[in-house]
Structure 1
């Protein structure tokens, strides 16, 4: 029978630290990952690394030296500019965000957009190209290839420095594949992960555009520091990305937030209210512009559209009770012309009115969310380096997960 108390009779407190089974090399790798995590937050001294990791300064110096040798970090002279002091100034070490790059791709209704960012998330290049809604599949993928290569060229980044890509697409996306999309001919069934991975020989993750927009707003937009948020992409087509507890809600098959499939929800035909104004039948933004200028017919069309939009938002709110609803997409640029009627109608339909505001990222949201998703994938590579008891991968080494793992993690 195992004893749970010491000889003195006092109950032992369980050690919360993960067991390494006496494997010193595994402990070293775990400490190296913890040190890297601290330095990624901002330049740090060896003493600060030691405090963060919980090791001696001598051990911390050894860890930092290892990370320098792997080219994950470098000495940062600019961070140590402190007032004069007795003795040598401490050395600061910074994360080498330029060690690798990620690409975020938004395959949209009328445009394909890309952003190239370093490992800190700073965007170093961006490019976009218009595409016809009925463009063939090959044309959209040609745009993806050309735009990513253009960003690499503009930023003077070698293709070998591109670590991973993330792709956002309209429709239901699950396991890296577009399960269903009603707009793009031939797009349903396309495996985004396999196709883009074969282009660049890099790991790829893929998700629905609304989910990526929600990630972007949570990371750097209107929902920053808000963990329970619904992001609505507002336009001719309406979609929703749901984030609960800081994590995107995909559901079992990727259909979470796909309200337009419900027979009692009017999102699928909401734009018909805007098309009812024959003066702007092909340009819904023009309808909002006219409503803002006081046009009564346009204002009525916007009100009907906003009511249908609010009904769908209320349905989501009844299920997940978000703290915040963010209105994004093309029409979000209409400002209060959209926000005021949606808020007014939503107050009638919800038991608890969430905070509701416009996106601060606009048309960049999906591509930025893809950048965030790609960075999250890089984080899994760093974590995997400790889990599989291998050395931290140096940035100059190409690290690609097995294809099956990519699909499970997409």
Structure 2
């Protein structure tokens, strides 16, 4: 029997119940609330969210953390465990379930409560199986299991949540159910650390999964041209042109205002994701040409006009500022024409590769344009990409084939000077 006499759980057949929700309030003082099955706010989560907002976090941080807390609370509700009574065995079972179980399949809201036999299934066609690599991009499709990054983020959030409440002596909480690794080789942290190298904390969560190193992917020029040709409006063309020219994050470019796009200086102003600072980024003339075409078309249709008005709007009435989800779906529609699965963030990677490929562009300027805190963040772009490796391998095979077909001539030995031989062997010097 496990601790406290709790029975062994059958995690193989466990299904996470869809009870409770993470509710977007629309209130800047409390952007998100974690609600229990009865619609009441979960107080420990509310206090944690308030602390995050006070620490000058982005309003999206409580949403990201809240999704992990909701998943954990549903697990606790299913087994009737109080949040401050959870022990290490509960955290272990939860993380094991996330590792081995399939993700819950959520039914679209239009079909909830209806006969499952009447729910239409998407046509398979050329759709790839979950978790398989895309033949165009090489990126894996979304799998049925929770990704290691998702599990790692969840473990970090829950460990931070319990550390926060342990410091506050909340409830009857005595220990953190998500502990750090305390093995023998972790007794003295950084015992074998090289003083000349960068300091890194070696201690990690006991149940934190290993995250494979991912190489940033760029969109090849020919494929980008095909994606660009598949766009339906001048607005979408202007967006892609600015994303590739500036390297801004997808949501950062959507914060631009009409007055922030300065054609004379060829810059566009965005609000940075982390620091919330306003920064002007250089762009290409082509991007401003597409922007002008979009603005003329939009203003003639009645889109609000003004220096402080948002730069990007929906294409149909009622006019609303363009949000990230709508921009993502726009890009996905263009992806579907090629059978690709690139993301909006791959446009940022593409812009970074283009800037770093320019020998006249100092990396410190690239760092500032991208909004990175450390120059070392650009090290991930020094790793060869999938396309670079394949191109280098094919070029190697082509050179080898050329050598086999027309080998270089064998050099002949040069003739000896007779005077040198006479000196060496005692012959006449004449």
* TM-score, length basis structure 2: 0.21
- Radius of gyration: which is bigger? 2
* TM-score, length basis structure 1: 0.22
